[in-house]
Amino acid sequence: MPLAAGTLLNHRYRIVSILGQGGMGAVYRAVDEHLGVHVAVKENLFLTDEYSRQFEREARILAGLRHPGLPHVTDYFVLPGQGQYLVMDYIEGEDLRQRMERAGVLPENEVILIGISVCEALNYLHTRPQPIIHRDLKPGNIKVTPEGQAVLVDFGLAKIMEGNQVTMTGARAMTPGYSPPEQYGTSHTDERSDVYSLGATLYAALTGSIPEDGLNRLTGKEQLTDIRKLRPKINRRLAEVIEKALEVDPDDRFQSVEEFRQALIECSEVGAFFKERPTISPPPPELLAEELAQNGNVQPSTNGKQKSKRNFRKRRRFQPGVLIPVFALLVGLSYLLFTLRPDLSQSLFAGFYPSTPFVATESASATPSLEVNQEDTPIPPVEQTPSVEGNQSTAPTATENARPVIPPTSTETPTPVFTPTATPLGGGASEIAFVSERTGQMQIWMMSADGKNLRQLTNMRNGACQPAWSPDGSKLAFISPCPGKREIYEGSAIYLLAMDGSEPIPLPSSPEGDFDPAWSPDGKKLAFTSLRTGRPSIFVMDLQTLVAREISESRYSDLQPSWSPISRQIAFVRRISNSQIWIMSEDGENQVRFSPPGDVTNFFPTWSWDGQAILYNQIVGGSKVPRLVGMRYEDRQSPREFRIPASGTVDIGPVGSFTLSPDGFWVAYEGWPDGTNHDIYLMTMNGATNIRLTTDPSFDYSPVWRPVIR
């Protein structure tokens, strides 16, 4: 008989409701009264020696796993004469079976993203020192959280590969249509069995029909119905990928979930830009609010530094078109201001926010304020000196082959021009480091801001990328190995290169991989992303003691830290439903979302020179084209993003990795307006002047402007 609501288990877990029931026991939703969070409690009432060992093994399997796509066991206990109990994270949301019943057949992009996410969780299981095979993949065992993360649940049939021996946590069981033929006993099961079951799950989500049973297909009694017969408009390539996963002979399937994942990515426009752990749109707010109301008022755990108090019914999708006329008016006024005042020395950001540095006070925001480092003052703006001859304005001198890619908005009105400022480090004009593949592998190069004086800085055996200047411009942090432009760099380490001609010095690193270096304003610390916790997480290293500690400490993937130039804050990317910009203090406290929610992917946050705004790349919906947007610090969590250049002014094409000049007036960025060749470009904030700095046919990206030293 299932436990009644209100029952207290082990003096700690108060039963709220029953989630499911089987022959061996039930699964409950409960409240951990010690911590005040919701948990799931699984019980086993069938206490024979064999089943007790199997249940305990399931607890041991889950207790050792750390992945956002898998639940985490937090407790295990036995109540003599009553049963065994397994306590794990309660996964909010709806399972895939419920989603299919609610929505019918799912959009193909949704199916692709679910498949990619589940492949990542399975790959984590399959690559453990003792590989784990799930063996029970089906829609009811995949849950989609409010954050849009697909989570694998129910490991009752999982098996561990221990050398040549196989151990199982449950007896052999099959789910017709989802279980591969070998699970019926025709041969041994391995990771390809999970490939089959995931393929069957995606088949059902895409078509609304369960595929024909694997054993019947193996014996010739049935044949698999082609996906495009059930849903003719489905992408042909996607149908072929899923049908390959459903081959009855394991040798004819994808040989690993990683192969399956890569094939799914190639079918998806959404996955084409970022290939690491995509997420799925969360369940409807109404469904989650109803679930919360039915199960009490205890707030579910966020597993982070803060508890998120979501108001699901107030969540609305931001419509950017509403603000386009406002942005266009602001940009027009700013452009007119520069026309009438060519000696103006402030950045175009003055059109969006005051030029005085922001100082956090109790009245500044409802969000707890962070202490401002008064010693870290913003770099004074570089004076802009216009140079006008007739009706033509002059831009930074470029190489002979450089040419404007987008013509200025107006050729009759002079625009502010950039006069590079000398720096005592190396002399000459201000400089830009960037990554190029022109020698056959990724290495870091340097050029002046007019595209001249090109020279190679690194010659690492396995490539180098992700350059980051120290605040005084005397050192350059970078990572190696670097096989190419990507989001995650497994096995990479961070190096420091002094500009005195000495060899690069490696920092202590983890074998899993450290990347995304970002300097503190005083140059004494380095924030970076590390995989040492099993997922991307942000660490800070003291460069004097070389001791690193984790600061983000969340269940999500956190990466791409960016240190504020005027305060002890770090902006970073957190992947929940989509990648969004978050901010936190340098010790990891006060983690709050910065960018507005919506069907967008945000990445590469960069603070403005005065710390008043954060700029970042953004991809909207299923588009593959990144653009540059920004938002004032005081507008955080609001829908008040602005485009750079503003919508409706000029079309400069894709804007990839970027950097701001020390005065905040110019943006150097990775662009590919022809759709293929990636080069470094330079533009003013209003887009009126756009110069191509590099013209080599190789891949150039990740520009970083060397700080100007006064």
Which residue, among 246, 241, 205, 195, has the nearest Cα to 225 in the 3D structure? 246
Strand 165-168 with 388-389, pairing: unpaired
Q: Is 587 a catalytic residue?
A: no
Q: Are 423 and 431 in contact (CB under 8 A)?
A: yes
The number of residues in the chain equals 710
Distance CA 319, CA 639 (A): 9
Q: How far is CA 658 from CA 224, 235, 405, 432, 562, in A?
A: 49, 34, 17, 11, 13
Q: What is the DSSP letter of 606?
A: E
Confirm whether residue 42 is marked as ligand binding.
yes
SS3 call for 262: helix
- How far is CA 221 from each of CA 81, 217, 243, rounded to the nearest angstrom? 48, 6, 18
Q: Which tokens in the block code for residue 681? A: 């470009």
Of the residues 32, 95, 136, 663, only one is catalytic, namely 136
Query: Scanning the structure block, which residue is given the tokens 């304020």?
Result: 369
Pull the structure tokens for residue 379.
């770099």
SS3 of residue 467 by DSSP: strand
The answer to whether the CB of 77 falls within 8 A of the CB of 62 is no
Residue 309's contacts (CB-CB under 8 Å, 6 or more residues apart) are 299
d(CA 93, CA 72) in angstroms, rounded, equals 16
- Rounded-to-integer distance, Cα 115 and Cα 120, Å: 9
DSSP calls for 649-681: T-------SEEE-TTSSEEEEEE-TTSS--EEE
The residues assigned a catalytic role are: 136
**Which residues are documented as binding site?**
42
**Which residues are documented as binding site for ATP?**
42
